[in-house]
Amino acid sequence: MAQVRKLAQLRREAAGCRRCPLWKRGTQTVFGQGDPTAAIMLVGEQPGDAEDLAGEPFVGPAGGILARALEAAGLSAVPRYVTNAVKHFKWEPRGKRRIHKKPRVSEVAACHYWLEEEIAAIQPKVLVAMGATAARALLGPGISVVKARGQWLASSSGSAVMVTVHPASILRAPDAEARRAGMAAFVADLKRAAKRVRTGG
């Protein structure tokens, strides 16, 4: 299958990526994973500590939130592909912990080649941009998550893009009620994406 071969080639090439300095501190490149024929691609910001160590996207706490939300939205059995706008973990030390640090615009731009190539190889019907970094990587610097959330927007690839929050934002909510509300809104967004995948509307 052409998509499988293309993605395997891209993954090998990305493993040696030196397009920005983030490779110097990251354990490894964390490339996207999933079904190469997926109709839906979910894009986050960058790998976290757990993802950096495992070499797989969304295997940490935010990945747990995403998995629960996908199941609640009826997407758990739908072929999908999950990736990040930036493929290396950007972090700063805090004691013995490695704390996530937001990637610079230049770092997102340097990594954009890999995201474009993933989209071109898979040609998903729907792209879900999770968080501001992903939204701006897919739609340009003027995009606001608050203003664009839940809308269907056109991308240069031809895929329809929906903007939503990053699942990590639900983990950062101040209390249990805020987390429940955040999760419900996130699931509602994913249900709209599921409908678009199934019906095109």
For position 201, what pLDDT does the model report?
64
For position 199, what pLDDT does the model report?
86
For position 109, what pLDDT does the model report?
97
Q: Which two three-digit tokens encode residue 167?
A: 């699942």
One-letter amino acid for residue 195 of the chain: K
Q: Which domain holds residue 46?
A: 2-199
Instruction: Read off the CATH number of the domain in which 29 is found.
Output: 3.40.470.10
Instruction: Indicate the number of domains in the chain.
Output: 1
pLDDT in tens for each of the 201 residues of the chain?
Answer: 788 899 999 999 999 999 999 999 999 999 999 999 999 999 999 999 999 999 999 999 999 999 999 999 999 989 999 999 999 999 999 999 999 999 999 999 999 999 999 999 999 999 999 999 999 999 999 999 999 999 999 998 899 999 999 999 999 999 999 999 999 999 999 999 999 998 876
Contact indicator for 197, 40 with CB cutoff of 8 Å: yes
Q: Which residue's entry shows tokens 């996908």?
A: 70
From the CB of residue 180, how many other CB atoms can be counted at a distance below 10 Å?
A: 12
Q: Which residue's entry shows tokens 């940490």?
A: 60
Residue whose C-alpha is closest to residue 127's, from 105, 110, 143: 143
What is the spatial distance between Cα 87 and Cα 96, in angstroms, rounded to a whole number? 23
